[in-house]
Amino acid sequence: MKEISTLSLPQTFQKRMADLLGPELPDFLASYLRPRSNSLRVNTLKITPEDFAALGLFPLKPVPWCPEGFYYAYQDYPGKHPYHQAGVYYIQEPSAMAVAAYLDPRPGDCVLDLAAAPGGKSTQIASSLQGQGLLWSNEIDRKRSRILLENLERWGTARMIVSCETPENLSQALPGFFHKILLDAPCSGEGMFRKDPGALRHWSVQHVLSCAFRQQKILESAASLLKEGGTLVYSTCTFSPEENEYCIINFLNNHPDFGLEPLPKLHPDFVESALLPGTIRLYPHRVDGEGHFIARLMRKPSSAVPLGEKTAGQQSREKHLPGHHQNTTHRQGQGNTPNKKTKSPDLSLVSDSEIFSDLRDLLRPEAGDLLSDDPSSGNPSSGNPSSGNPSSGDLSSGGLFSSGRHSLISHEGHYWLDPLAGKLLPKLNILCRGLYLGQKKTGRFLPGYALAHAQEAGHFKEYSSFLAGSLELEAYLHGEEISSPGPDGWTVIGVDSFPLGWGRRSGGRLKNHYPKNLRQ
């Protein structure tokens, strides 16, 4: 692995770091001569960290500040293992795992990840929510937002909304909507020089100041999205005070309705900032990871619009019609890549009976508890769903497809399980609202990739398991047909007990329905 010579670090950058670190500067510079750390985070929606470690796939060492995080040797390439395609773990830089830990999302919270791509912190939040509440993940860049959606679907996330919006548009549309917000702000990337040499090539003091200006604007939008009493975690992967402490100090000076919540040290070598006590810095010469800054803010009571209460401007932007109406993206087939063009379809609430017969053909009665109608689930939509009375077509009481505080929505034969129970939203560019179930096409139901990942293997009526490294599994991930004895019809293909995607069996041959954009 290539290291960065201290001679390649700009002298201006080294002087600025000397001002921050004093006598620790030599140790800091020496860290650039060492290989960076590599780590993964286990998907606790699918397996416990203990059970994963017991599999012995690779030599692992725990990440001290993240119970589900493990270091691995870079030559092991876990990203090439089919368990990665199955969403069993996510490749994530170890210091980045501390950010969502400080946000501390709990089951039932309504959480926004405002700058979410590629999805590492969003998947960590999804695991903490345990299928309750709501995760709203936003990314302003359209290409990166598609990658974000792919990663969340692979993770098995059901109660989610993925949007491709500006922070300003979100703040105007959803004031005071979220209990907790994560703003991992775009930054100059000083803390990632070992990982991303491109950040080093683009570095300049002017770039730092430009990032700081942009961060102040994004933080303003994030603040208005937070409900009273809510928590906002601000983080960067840079060292510059302009993007970190000074950004928070300027914000607090202009927002007396916000306060700084002092952060505890999740590890003895986390550093409390001398510039702003109560905030945390991570340095690569102190921890086995890259550089980060983290601050936690709280919006004081009686300062935000209560959750669910709309301003006059927001009300004027809504169309009060059955179902919900918003700019969204039409999903094609069972892949998970949106159209390039944004459409504004009417997504209609539908009766469960329209697709429940198809779902019953695929799933066992015990399928899922991802979307419970338990009032303690913390669904941000309160009251009865606008879809009407509960349907008699439920697969299980209180389970994934139970009626209550969610509903089925559709557009042009595509179906989603809506975590907002048909709640009206302003016009926003939304890529996915809830769990994508599949598409009804020429009278036949085509189940969605996301549905395969949101269920355990034992919840499918037909599940075909292959060993990691087998020729059949390799062929499936390449998009090829494979031999598969068994009854004709849909089956889920998996690696061991972890689903990967769908196939349709006919005469002992399995037609491949693994999304084309994911094939290896």
Residue 237 catalytic? yes
Verify that 278 and 421 share a domain, yes or no: no
Q: What's the rounded Cα separation, in Å, for the pair 112 and 180?
A: 6
List C-alpha distances in Å: 304 to 101, 295, 316, 474: 25, 20, 20, 52
Verify that 336 and 245 share a domain, yes or no: no
User: Is 115 annotated as contributing to ligand binding?
Assistant: yes
Options 66, 110, 187, 237, the catalytic residue: 237
CATH code where residue 254 lies: 3.40.50.150
Verify that 134 and 85 share a domain, yes or no: yes
Number of domains forming the structure of the chain: 3
Domain membership of residue 493 as a residue range: 462-518
List C-alpha distances in Å: 423 to 157, 224, 311, 348, 403: 20, 20, 16, 11, 14
CATH code where residue 478 lies: 2.30.130.60
Query: Cis bond leading into 94, ω under 30°?
Result: no
Verify that 68 and 188 share a domain, yes or no: yes
User: Is 117 annotated as contributing to ligand binding?
Assistant: yes
List C-alpha distances in Å: 221 to 169, 173, 199, 422: 9, 11, 26, 25
User: Is 184 annotated as contributing to ligand binding?
Assistant: yes
- Going by the DSSP 8-state scheme, the letter that residue 338 receives in this structure is B
Question: Can you read off the two tokens belonging to residue 68?
Answer: 């589900």
The answer as to whether 291 is a domain residue is yes
Question: Can you read off the two tokens belonging to residue 95?
Answer: 């210091």
Judging by DSSP bridges, how do beta strands 110-113 and 178-184 pair with one another? parallel
Verify that 274 and 350 share a domain, yes or no: no
Map residue 296 onto helix, strand or coil.
strand
User: Is 168 annotated as contributing to ligand binding?
Assistant: no
Predicted TM-score (pTM) of the model is: 0.87
Question: Can you read off the two tokens belonging to residue 167?
Answer: 């922070």
Q: Given 299, 333, 349, which residue is the final one in a domain?
A: 299
The answer as to whether 1 is a domain residue is no
pLDDT per residue rounded down to tens, the chain (520 residues) = 455 665 589 999 999 999 999 999 999 999 999 999 999 999 999 999 999 999 999 999 999 999 999 999 989 999 999 999 999 999 999 999 999 999 999 999 999 999 999 999 999 999 999 999 999 999 999 999 999 999 999 999 999 999 999 999 999 999 999 999 999 999 999 999 998 888 899 999 999 999 999 999 999 999 999 999 999 999 999 999 999 999 999 999 999 999 999 999 999 999 999 999 999 999 999 999 999 999 999 999 985 444 444 433 333 333 322 223 334 443 333 344 333 434 434 666 666 566 778 888 999 887 754 333 343 333 333 332 222 222 222 322 334 444 334 588 888 889 999 998 878 788 899 999 999 999 999 889 999 999 999 999 999 999 999 999 999 999 999 999 999 899 999 999 999 999 999 999 999 999 999 999 999 8
Contact yes or no for 138/112 (Cβ under 8 A): yes
Verify that 258 and 350 share a domain, yes or no: no
User: Is 369 annotated as contributing to ligand binding?
Assistant: no
Closest CA to 169 of 228, 241, 222, 97: 222
The answer as to whether 307 is a domain residue is no
